[in-house]
């Protein structure tokens, strides 16, 4: 595997120099943040990003995300927007980007009910409780999370939610299929692998459909265009929030189409309720050893990043994206991969 670390560009308090000092990290996952969703990214911005990352001694193998405009998900008047998306794929391919991570969640990207829940050890973490989420009124406005491409005023959100009233899960699948049929041939030609991020959390919120949630939906997605360029971001924290998902089994089934992995742990605290924990298996509900073993046994050789961390040691900043806990997670992940890859045979080998 190739270990990467997410960087939010110049506004990120975590600098490239800090990232470079995390053991075993070879690349950065980033994006161009200077235009609205749906626009073509300028070649200058793409090259500036790449040069900055390269001159810090790091690679830029993965872009996360190229946001999908809501009109594409709504299937409305979106020909030109899909053309723009294709152009971004071509430009990123020319800049040497290997994988593009994106998602197809209506309106809201990842969603939590609390951004800073204090844990007994004094660390702070992201939490989700479906009851609490259902009591929110999204149209009241001011609703945004730091990972989102967009934040909306109350009126804009109201209008958007109104437009989605005619889009049920079946329609959303149709719109996703139409999008994939256009973008995947372009990605193939550009030498880029598209890696769809599953819905987080993996169930509908605010009556909006969420369709990339389990083994069946991943299989359906991959069958729409049966090409290696139509692949997955396997996010353990997103899929793992549903106890029905058997993550090692899913990895074994889809391994050849997994191009990017987000590794993080969650502690399931009730029905549709969880907190994000530190990465080790002993801290949450997911067996990270079995997850990594499934990746290694399937011959996975793609990009990995430690996903969200808690806020520890007094750090503050973008929830989920502090330096310290993600760096601890990266070191843990490196150790797990080394242990699984070397396995028993290496331990027995005479020195
Ligand atoms: C959360 C991230 C997501 C992810 C997008 C991919 O921290 O994993 O925001 O970047 O959903 O499009």
Can you list the domains of the chain with their CATH numbers? Answer: 2-348 (3.20.20.150)
* Lowest pLDDT segment from 52-66, 132-146, 226-240: 132-146
Cα of 196 vs centre of ligand 1, distance in Å, is 10
pLDDT at 151 over 80: no
Cross-strand bridge partners of residue 59: 27
pLDDT band at 285 (very low <50, low <70, confident <90, very high): very high
Q: Are 143 and 151 in contact (CB under 8 A)?
A: yes
* Candidate from 88, 104, 147, 303 with most ligand 1 atoms within 8 A of CB, to mutate: 147
pLDDT at 176 over 70: yes
Mean model confidence pLDDT for the chain: 94
Which residue spans within 87-214 are E strands per DSSP?
Answer: 99-103, 114-118, 124-129, 193-197
pLDDT at 138 over 80: no
* Candidate from 66, 88, 101 with most ligand 1 atoms within 8 A of CB, to mutate: 101
Q: What per-residue confidence (pLDDT) applies to 142?
A: 56
For the chain, percent of residues with pLDDT exceeding 70? 95
Rounded distance, CA 182 to CA 180, Å? 5
Cα of 346 vs centre of ligand 1, distance in Å, is 37
Q: Nearest to residue 172, comparing CAs of 208, 125, 225?
A: 208
Q: What per-residue confidence (pLDDT) applies to 146?
A: 53
pLDDT band at 181 (very low <50, low <70, confident <90, very high): very high
What is the atom index within ligand 1 of the atom nearest the CA of 262?
Answer: 8
pLDDT at 150 over 70: no
Distance of CA 312 to the CA centre of its chain: 22
Q: Are 66 and 88 in contact (CB under 8 A)?
A: yes
For the chain, percent of residues with pLDDT exceeding 90? 85
Q: What per-residue confidence (pLDDT) applies to 136?
A: 81
Provide mean pLDDT across the span 265-271.
97
* pTM: predicted TM-score of the whole model, two decimal places: 0.95
CA diameter of the chain: 69
């Amino acid at each position: 595997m190739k270990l990467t670390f997410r960087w939010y560009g110049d506004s990120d308090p975590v600098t490239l120099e800090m990232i470079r000092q995390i053991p075993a990290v070879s690349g950065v996952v980033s994006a161009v943040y200077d235009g609205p969703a749906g626009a073509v990214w300028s070649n200058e911005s793409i090259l500036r990003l790449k040069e900055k990352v390269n001159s810090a001694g790091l690679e830029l193998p993965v872009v996360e995300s190229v946001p999908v405009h809501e009109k594409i998900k709504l299937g409305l008047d979106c020909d030109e927007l899909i053309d723009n998306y294709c152009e971004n794929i071509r430009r990123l391919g020319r800049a040497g980007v290997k994988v593009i991570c994106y998602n197809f969640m209506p309106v809201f990207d990842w969603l939590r009910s609390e951004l800073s829940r204090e844990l007994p050890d004094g660390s702070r973490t992201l939490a989700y409780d479906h009851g609490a989420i259902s009591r929110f009124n999204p149209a009241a406005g001011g609703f945004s999370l730091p990972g989102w491409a967009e934040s909306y005023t109350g009126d804009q959100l109201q209008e958007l939610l109104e437009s989605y009233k005619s889009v049920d899960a079946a329609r959303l699948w149709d719109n996703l299929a139409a999008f994939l049929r256009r973008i995947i041939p372009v990605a193939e030609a550009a030498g880029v692998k598209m890696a769809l991020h599953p819905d987080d959390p993996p169930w509908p919120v605010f009556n909006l459909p969420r369709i990339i949630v389990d083994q069946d939906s991943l299989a359906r997605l991959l069958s729409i265009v049966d090409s290696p360029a139509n692949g997955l971001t396997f996010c353990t924290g997103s899929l793992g929030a549903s106890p029905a998902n058997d993550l090692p089994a899913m990895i074994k089934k889809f391994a050849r189409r997994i191009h990017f992995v987000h590794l993080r742990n969650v502690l399931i605290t009730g029905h549709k309720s969880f907190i994000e924990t530190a990465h080790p298996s002993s801290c949450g509900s997911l067996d990270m050893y079995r997850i990594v073993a499934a990746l290694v046994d399937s011959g996975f050789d793609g990009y990995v990043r430690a996903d969200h961390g808690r806020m520890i040691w007094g750090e503050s900043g973008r929830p989920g994206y502090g330096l310290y806990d993600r760096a601890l997670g990266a070191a843990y992940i490196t150790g797990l991969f080394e242990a699984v890859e070397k396995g028993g045979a290496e331990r027995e080998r005479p020195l």
